[in-house]
Amino acid sequence: MALAFDEYGRPFIIIREQEQKTRLRGLDAQKANISAGKAVARILRTSLGPKGMDKMLQSPDGDVTITNDGATILEQMDVDNQIAKLMVELSRSQDYEIGDGTTGVVVMAGALLEQAEKLLERGIHPIRIAEGYEMASRIAFEHLEHIAHKFEFSETDVEPLIQTCMTTLSSKILPAFGSGNSVNRCKRSMAEIAVKAVLAVADLERKDVNLELIKVEGKVGGKLEDTELIYGIVVDKDMSHPQMPKQIEDAKIAILTCPFEPPKPKTKHKVDIDSVEKFQTLREQERKYFDDMVQKCKDVGATLVICQWGFDDEANHLLMHRNLPAVRWVGGVELELIAIATGGRIVPRFQELTPEKLGRAILKLLDRNKMMIEETKRSLHDALCVARNLIRNKSIVYGGGSAEISCSIAVEAAADKYPGVEQYAIRAFADALDAIPMALAENSGLQPIETLSAVKSQQIKDNNSCCGIDCNDVGTNDMREQNVFETLIGKQQQILLATQVVKMILKIDDVISPFDY
């Protein structure tokens, strides 16, 4: 235990159990933090872009996940280092705010940390580096507004939305299902489903989309091409009796939270039956009780009963004979969704419900196995988020690293206007922006430095901010011709979030942690 003494000779503890803790100060602490952040970014770097590699993650209970989604990878990794946990939070923030770009934001933060490490070794104070990064992020943010393109769409013309969703899906696991036209058809059909689902619940006047009204369900069996959009509710339940009808037109639904069973006294009770007559009386009373419940449902015009609880064989048999189909053991959340969609009301007693037109969009997936279904659900979630973002803000930038290269050129040019030490940090920020297109080129099997230099010189020569990395080997670097788009707010959020996390890491100069025995 470390002790110190005040001017009167009284001892006091500086840090309790000092000898049982490890401590890093100053430059050593900053380098250790940067090293931890770079380690996380290196893991995700190979998963960036349409040709990015997938990661296989095994949970402690043996479940296997195959994905290249940055947020999912970091979420399932067992991360102990506190700085690495900040990178996990960074990816989670991007996923929460935008829904896409979770890999790119971590790669961007890793590149900024790498450049910051070089500046620290040259003796530049971390605060000046952080201030320079902040200035550079504002320059890049404003430049993105300058190079952004706006496009108009409507409920009848949704092609721009579909093209942007296809760009998002191109970096997911969908290409693994085949090659050539089959992949393009599958990718386009999934993008169309995502756009239709978002438009079904979107308020275009307010530019608002509630994604909680869209549910993605996966079922093992069939092919990915069997995926369909259901304008309604999908409840994974069977009818309570196998002979009940499987299809009901213009159903009037009674949504009940009361069970089909006789009332039970709340106190302890005992019934003595010592004769056949008493048993018959009890049986008749129960049957009458069931009959009254069924009749109440029939009287209000219900043609389908959905019940939160179960009911015994006698009630089930009576429902079938009275031609009243029923579904039992439906969860409370599903009951709420059904009530929202039908305009009905969840009731604890039997009373009339007036179903209205369904207003929910639900997805049902069919695929080869569970792992593929889960990855496809993640891909669809990203596509849904992108469509939502475009409804909120119709501005786009072109992908393939073209936006980052253009911002890099703009930030590099603006650095000359700043005479202080921050100029070094601004130039370092411009170099860090090149990490995204370099990773795209490297993951596509191209020469990263040579490819980046060629594209950057082409952007400067032609004054064309749409030139990016030709990851799919189409034969042109113009992302407009390849229809590769990204949302403006998603790209801006990437730069802002990455800069904020890096600034936070750079300002940590003392790390006190428990001693590892």
Query: Could you tell me if 362 and 232 are in contact, meaning their C-beta atoms sit under 8 angstroms apart?
Result: yes
Catalytic residue among 46, 67, 72, 103: 103
Rounded CA separation 472/459 (Å)? 19
Rounded CA separation 486/396 (Å)? 6
Residue length, the chain?
517
Catalytic residue among 102, 303, 451, 487: 102
Rounded CA separation 470/451 (Å)? 9
Rounded CA separation 136/404 (Å)? 13
Kindly report each contact of residues 248-252 with a partner whose C-beta sits within 8 Å and lies 24 or more positions away, as own/partner. Answer: 248/303, 248/304, 248/325, 250/303, 251/303, 251/304, 251/355, 252/301, 252/302, 252/303, 252/304, 252/353, 252/354, 252/355
Query: Could you tell me if 365 and 382 are in contact, meaning their C-beta atoms sit under 8 angstroms apart?
Result: no
Strand 326-327 with 304-307, pairing: parallel
Rounded CA separation 496/232 (Å)? 38
Task: With H, G, I as helix, E, B as strand and everything else as coil, classify residue 209.
Answer: strand
Backbone dihedral angles phi then psi of residue 136, each to the nearest 5 degrees? -65, -35
**274 part of the active site:** no
* Residue 292 neighbours by CB under 8 Å, 6+ apart: none
Report which of 409, 435, 407, 414 is spatially closest to residue 109, judged by C-alpha positions: 435
Rounded CA separation 354/226 (Å)? 33
Q: What residue type is assigned to position 209 of the chain?
A: V
Label residue 476 exposed, middle or buried (CB < 10 Å: 0-12, 13-18, 19+). Answer: exposed
Q: Which helix (H) or strand (E) holds 504?
A: helix 488-506
- Nearest-Å Rg of the Cα atoms of the chain is 30
**382 part of the active site:** yes
Rounded CA separation 324/321 (Å)? 8
**103 part of the active site:** yes
Task: With H, G, I as helix, E, B as strand and everything else as coil, classify residue 488.
Answer: helix
135: alpha, beta or left? (left if phi > 0; alpha if psi -120 to 50)? alpha
- Tokens 């996380």 — which residue? 40
Catalytic residue among 367, 382, 434, 470: 382
Catalytic residue among 65, 69, 168, 342: 69
Residue 511 tokens, joined: 């790390």
**102 part of the active site:** yes
- Tokens 């609880």 — which residue? 309
Query: Could you tell me if 300 and 205 are in contact, meaning their C-beta atoms sit under 8 angstroms apart?
Result: no
Label residue 285 exposed, middle or buried (CB < 10 Å: 0-12, 13-18, 19+). Answer: exposed
Q: What residues are annotated to the active site?
A: 69, 102-103, 382
